[in-house]
Amino acid sequence: MENKISLYRPPAPYPGEAAEGWRNFSNYLSSDPLGVIPKELYECAIFQFDDDDPRKFLVNEPKLLSRVLEEQQAIFPKGGGIAELLKPILHNGLVSAEGVDWQDQHEMVAPIFSNSSVRISFGYLQEALSSFVERLLTYSETGQTIKLAEEINFLVADVNFRCVFSKPIEIQLEHQCFNSIMKYEEEVAGTALDLKRFSGGGQPAFTEAALKTAENVRAVISQIIDEHMYNKPPNTQNFFQIFQEARVPSTGKRFTKSQLVDQVASIFLSSHETTSAALCWSVYILAQCPEIVERIRTEVQLVTACGRISYEHLPRLRFTRDVFKEVLRLYPPVLYLSRIAREDTTLGDTLIPKESMVIISPWVVHRHRSFWENPDMFDPDRFSRGEAKATLGSYFPFGLGPRMCTGASYVTFLGIKVIARLCSMFDFETVNTDEVRPDSTLYLKPSRPVLCKVHKRKFSK
């Protein structure tokens, strides 16, 4: 049942000729990073920026990027990327730790991402999604226009909060915690454009305001933990319980209170904006592709026999999964993975001097002209055609190797479930369709509020 209708091109700049000066890394970052990427960057294997300090490389070739991210993690540790910018909140949590400390934490929190835990999280997702659907039903009755990101941010905050603490998030707390995290991310977005300063081992220069916001976020999380420990719901399974029971493999010690804050912050920060961005793009694209929505509905009806979408149904919703995968190909929320070379080395024929910054961009590789057919078009069938397999390592919205996203399988289930449920129940109509562009300041989000109307389908459950 393949889609023969002409393909949709979601908003993205058209790669053109290289503008003057764009090879200079700081010029490149301080302009519109997605807009200025010329054709040649989507065609090359490896690219060296032309800077005062020329130790900055962009690696596209799958074998080479796999060496950086998977095979030679010891030579290419994390550095100069988003994790560094989030350190004032994360301190030394899983996302930003390195070496033995990272290995210990990785082992300690692994049960969170086991199959049984993902299944429990699915229950929390169902609850949060039901509340979300209730809100959408109200909007469909009143006919009001909603700001899509605000609604989806709340849904994702609610899912996260339930997974960590087994209870729904209240609006006030969502503002205090998740909105403060977003405020922090906006405050450091300028610093992100100043990556040059802290490549090669330097430190990013945080503003007073950003540090203050980071302190507030940690204080709020610390208070949430205190309240949770005091009023813990009995017999519940959640991420926080796993953090509390975890032991450092070498010493048998538990996480300290400050380390518990690091872990909760790591989950909140790594999952919130990324998942929200992916879901916003999904709804935006589907609003422009009614024939894809029909195919999702047909699949859901066939697989669930018109019943409720259960955990067991998810692996069988293959087309819906491919839709979510294609959204993540075109709009990978984490635009750049950044590593610092610990020693002189080579990648292919290119010499990579010690302390070079090696950047790998899912955005560029996912739209690379050598690895994808019609790279800028929305074509979920490319996965069932086996296109991504043709060049292994050309698709990695969750990263690759040991530092790959620990939440990847959980998010994939979440994406399938949310898309399947929303398409089964609603039609979405975007109001400001032509104004929406990808914004790349920290995560890849829609540039302005996507304004949307929600229409309840006739006969939907």
- Residues in contact with ligand HEM by CB under 6 A are 78, 81, 94-95, 106, 266-267, 270-271, 274-275, 278, 333-334, 337, 397-399, 403-407, 410-411
Nearest to 322 by CA among 392, 398, 416: 416
Q: Which of 86, 70, 27 is nearest to 360 (CA)?
A: 70
| Residue among 23 and 86 whose Cβ is closer to ligand HEM | 86
Cα 142 to Cα 136: distance, rounded to the nearest angstrom: 10
> Measured at CB, which residue is nearest to ligand HEM?
407
Nearest distance from C-beta of residue 453 to ligand HEM, angstroms: 25
Q: How far is the CB of 324 from ligand HEM (least distance, A)?
A: 9
8 A C-beta contact, residue 285 and residue 450: no
Could you tell me the smallest distance in angstroms from the CB atom of residue 407 to ligand HEM? 2
Q: How far is the CB of 271 from ligand HEM (least distance, A)?
A: 3
**Based on CB atoms, which residue is closest to ligand HEM, 160 or 345?**
160
**Residue 340 CB, nearest distance to ligand HEM (Å)?**
12
Shortest separation between residue 411's beta carbon and ligand HEM, angstroms: 4
Chain-centroid distance, C-alpha 408: 9
Nearer to ligand HEM, 259 or 275 (CB): 275
Of 191, 194, 134, nearest to 158 by C-alpha is 134
Q: List, as own/partner pairs, every contact residues 64-67 make where C-beta atoms lie below 8 angstroms and the sequence separation is at least 24, other chains included.
A: 64/347, 64/348, 65/360, 65/365, 65/393, 65/400, 66/393, 66/400, 66/401, 67/347
Residue with smaller CB distance to ligand HEM, 337 or 452 = 337
Question: How many angstroms separate the Cα of 158 from the Cα of each of 69, 103, 165, 350?
Answer: 32, 29, 10, 47
Nearer CB in complex with ligand HEM: 275/430: 275
309 neighbors 417 (Cβ within 8 angstroms): yes
Per the annotation, does 452 bind a ligand? no
Question: What's the min distance (Å) between Cβ of 272 and ligand HEM?
Answer: 8
Task: Calculate the dihedral angle through the C-alpha atoms of 105, 110, 111, 114, rounding to the nearest 10 degrees.
Answer: 170
- Pick 94 or 450: Cβ nearer ligand HEM: 94
Of 95 and 128, nearer to ligand HEM (C-beta) is 95
End-to-end, the C-alpha distance of the chain in Å comes to 25
* CA-to-CA dists, residue 412 to 80, 199, 322, 336, 418, angstroms: 27, 32, 10, 20, 10
Task: Give the span between the Cα atoms of 413 and 1, in whole angstroms.
Answer: 23
- Do the Cβ atoms of 324 and 183 come closer than 8 Å? no
Query: In the Cβ-directed half-sphere of 245, how many Cα atoms lie within 13 Å?
Result: 9
Annotated binding residues, as ranges? 405
Bind-site residues for heme: 405
